[in-house]
Amino acid sequence: MSDKPRILVTRKLPDAVEARLQRDYQPMLNPDDRLYSTDEIIEMAANADAILPCHTEKFPAEVIARLPENVRAIANFSVGHDHVDLDAAKAKGIIVTNTPDVLSDATAEIAILCMLGAARRAYEGERMIRAQQWKDWSPTFMLGAQTTGKRFGVVGMGRVGQVAAKRARGFDMEVHYYNRSRLSADLECGATYHETVEDLLPHCDVLSIHCPATPQTTGLLNRERIALLPDGAIVVNTGRGGVVDDEALIEALTSGKVFAAGLDVFNGEPDHIHPKYRELDNVFLLPHLGSATVETRNGMGFRALDNLDAIFAGREPGDRIA
């Protein structure tokens, strides 16, 4: 019998990642990519030394409590970790890791796509052509908002926020940000720091959300804060849906207070997002594609495996979060 560690892999991962798993571990793979129930995960975990989940599998305290003692680690295939109760894991002695850095470029690309898609009315244009409704052109046809030279405001200037800001500078945008702590000058790259979200918002022609979902950031973009944005601002969210109060954003999109929004993440995703988003023309919607490139998904898998390699070699994993 092999003495290689047994890894419960909850979702179908890229081929190169699964090949490395097969080489170095005894993986329980999910070739059909079926979404497992919590009960199934608990049951399969009886034969696992570690679990390699995605954000689609939830580990609140009550699930962590039910995990068998043989589970030594949860090596996430994600940078976000709002799906895992870190305190509960720590209390139970389960090591938790994530996959930072490797998805910053891909997610920042999607932020810029969301910004431009929203600002330049990409959804309306796409739909018009596909529906054979493009009949005319005129100087006042489908005018959008120009972003070049405008102000790009970032909430959450972590790794992804910093790359998004760098890309926005490519559009000559002036970068403003709020972060729990101010960055050093070399990371700030001339961006203007605001000590509170309230201070930042009036400076955002484009507001791009990159902070993690925490109890403190839940519903952060609410009615009162939206009122602080300049009229006609653009809202971009590639972080987590929970940071946005959907009713408030939809109200602002309907009134025109917010010109348009580009959203890659949602409350209730994938199939219980606010239905009104589907009806609005001034939203550019993507199904959580932030990290969805071959390079990045391989990078995330390899990073999760690097963490597992360290754990099972008795070393400290590079991306330990609990």
Q: Based on CB atoms, which residue is closest to ligand 8YV, 77 or 123?
A: 77
Q: Based on CB atoms, which residue is closest to ligand 8YV, 55 or 150?
A: 55
Taking the complex as a whole, how short is the minimal distance between the CB of residue 290 and ligand 8YV, in angstroms? 4
Q: Based on CB atoms, which residue is closest to ligand 8YV, 53 or 144?
A: 53
Q: Which of 81, 120, 288, 303 is catalytic?
A: 288
Q: Based on CB atoms, which residue is closest to ligand 8YV, 173 or 322?
A: 322
Q: Which of 194, 210, 240, 303 is catalytic?
A: 240
CA distances (Å), origin 314, targets 71, 72, 95, 139:
15, 12, 12, 66
Taking the complex as a whole, how short is the minimal distance between the CB of residue 267 and ligand 8YV, in angstroms? 14
Q: Which of 124, 182, 269, 320 is catalytic?
A: 269
Asked about 176 being catalytic, the answer comes back as no
Interface positions with ligand 8YV (CB under 6 A): 54-55, 77-80, 103, 290-291
Query: Cα–Cα distance between 182 and 193 in angstroms, integer?
Result: 7
Joined together, the tokens standing for residue 168 give 């926005």
Query: Are 261 and 253 in contact, with CB atoms under 8 Å apart?
Result: yes
Sign for the CA dihedral angle at 57, 58, 62, 65 comes to positive
Taking the complex as a whole, how short is the minimal distance between the CB of residue 258 and ligand 8YV, in angstroms? 23
Joined together, the tokens standing for residue 216 give 């403190």
Query: Cα–Cα distance between 262 and 110 in angstroms, integer?
Result: 9
Number of helical H runs and strand E runs in the chain: 13, 12
Query: Are 89 and 62 in contact, with CB atoms under 8 Å apart?
Result: no
Q: Based on CB atoms, which residue is closest to ligand 8YV, 242 or 290?
A: 290
Which residue spans within the chain are E strands per DSSP? 6-9, 26-28, 50-52, 73-75, 95-97, 151-155, 174-178, 192-194, 206-209, 233-237, 258-263, 283-285
Taking the complex as a whole, how short is the minimal distance between the CB of residue 19 and ligand 8YV, in angstroms? 19
Taking the complex as a whole, how short is the minimal distance between the CB of residue 138 and ligand 8YV, in angstroms? 40
Asked about 288 being catalytic, the answer comes back as yes
The residue among 174, 287, 279 whose CA lies nearest residue 238 is 287
Q: Catalytic residue positions? A: 240, 269, 288
